[in-house]
Structure 1
């Protein structure tokens, strides 16, 4: 396997990330890039600049770059851009149609200068999560960002409680990868958690005050205008709707 290194630099979590490649990027070495990219996303950067200035990119690596673009778009506010590619690499990527999906700049520094470090938060955001002890805290950070961007600070505390219960319940009982979705519409914010278990949730009883989550769907029922669980072909979606006007 031809050697490839991928080094990421960012000052603080959430800051733009420069992911510098050195060596040959092809179908055999693309897992090196994928691993480095996967380590960047949990820091929730608004912008990831893939610096190709020291990389030789093979034609069979285009699909790997396209997958990264798709993966970035699934994270709230994250964008992938390319910078510093040699003219021949630029021509190849343009011919392959990749630059129609992923913006390209002459250098990583140019990308940092011209691309806003933070994209506007869309009206619907998705975040994939693994069923582990960090899932609820990451979901709360997503709520914090959405409430700040959507100017819904008064909703933040209730939304954090709801997302904690939904995610913690899925981690505790489904034991499958999750996807959290937050969306806003007139008068309401919808929070949902998708998993791959067909078992529908049931409200629980009292739990110890030291346990994260576990207050069950009683809390969700108390705070939300409506909530429910919808079966899907590969599992279920548990959803809840919070009012955004006239209740705080």
Structure 2
């Protein structure tokens, strides 16, 4: 994925470091953003963006990295840390977690609860939704949020069935807790965005899948990445407790 800033992804699969080097001008920002989103969507978990060899115009780097971090904020177990030894690229930004050394960045990654992430790769077949429901049920049981089992199963069923019916590509289902919430996402290889137009007519024979997700999730959305998209949602146990009260 060449960019004007030459975004490099470590070939070692055990590494979470992405190095940006060269001159990052505003005209290159979209291409660098796509490269970072591609990396975050391809390999679950946070990344460290090394900007030690990056030169940027104005606050281009800060705005770009902060935007990417906001974009993935609701994805399961996703985050972006910045390695900037001199502070030349990011300055005193309060929007980004900036580390001064690789050791510091590695220690920050180690504190990320990646062990809580569950994933499964699925093919676009009829049984895919059942396997996805089993995954979220396992996660809800492990993380002590049984009240989210049903809403999470509803949401992931609709996400997966949308891939089966419309995208027709392999997919990855991801589930992770964060604080008091549950994050669920389905990553596929189609850039066709789900269309949500609110309540479906009573005479409609379909189109209610996104309405169901909107009903059970506090937040949801769809993010395009270079070779597909990530559809995600966030649910809170307190919402279910309140609805029963």
TM-score, normalised with respect to structure 1: 0.54
Following superposition, the deviation at residue 119 of structure 1 comes to 3.7
Classify 1:18/1:53 alpha carbon distance in 2 versus 1 (closer, same or farther; 3 Å): same
Following superposition, the deviation at residue 195 of structure 1 comes to 5.3
Following superposition, the deviation at residue 143 of structure 1 comes to 2.9
Q: Deviations over 1:131-185 (max 9, x none)?
A: x9599699769837843761458987x777544432245557899xxxx99989x
The corresponding residue for 1:3 is: 4
- Asked whether the equivalents of residues 53 and 107 of structure 1 are also in contact (C-alpha less than 8 Å), the reply is no
The corresponding residue for 1:209 is: none
The number of equivalent residue pairs is 193
The corresponding residue for 1:65 is: 65
Following superposition, the deviation at residue 3 of structure 1 comes to 3.2
SS of 2:197's equivalent in the other structure is: coil
Following superposition, the deviation at residue 83 of structure 1 comes to 0.5
Following superposition, the deviation at residue 82 of structure 1 comes to 0.7
SS of 2:105's equivalent in the other structure is: helix
Partners of 1:181 and 1:200 in 2: CA distance:
28
Question: For residues 76-225 of structure 1, what are the structure 2 equivalents within 5 Å?
Answer: 76-90=76-90, 93-94=91-92, 99-116=93-110, 118-119=112-113, 143=136, 146-147=139-140, 150-151=143-144, 162-171=154-163, 196-198=196-198, 200=200
SS of 1:70's equivalent in the other structure is: helix
Partners of 1:191 and 1:49 in 2: CA distance:
23
User: What residue ranges of structure 1 are gaps of 5+ in the alignment?
Assistant: 123-131, 206-213, 218-227, 231-235
RMSD: 5.4
Classify 1:35/1:138 alpha carbon distance in 2 versus 1 (closer, same or farther; 3 Å): farther
Q: Does 1:239 align with 2:227?
A: no
- Report 1 or 2 for greater relative contact order, CA contacts < 8 Å, sequence distance ≥ 6: 2
Q: Deviations over 1:75-112 (max 9, x none)?
A: 1222211103434334xx31xxxx31211111334301
Larger radius of gyration: 1
Partners of 1:145 and 1:23 in 2: CA distance:
45
Following superposition, the deviation at residue 69 of structure 1 comes to 1.7
- Asked whether the equivalents of residues 155 and 216 of structure 2 are also in contact (C-alpha less than 8 Å), the reply is no
Classify 1:191/1:164 alpha carbon distance in 2 versus 1 (closer, same or farther; 3 Å): closer
- Asked whether the equivalents of residues 3 and 23 of structure 1 are also in contact (C-alpha less than 8 Å), the reply is yes
- Asked whether the equivalents of residues 75 and 183 of structure 2 are also in contact (C-alpha less than 8 Å), the reply is no
Following superposition, the deviation at residue 197 of structure 1 comes to 3.0
The corresponding residue for 1:42 is: 41
Partners of 1:21 and 1:138 in 2: CA distance:
38
TM-score, normalised with respect to structure 2: 0.54
User: What residue ranges of structure 2 are gaps of 5+ in the alignment?
Assistant: 117-122, 168-173, 187-193, 218-234
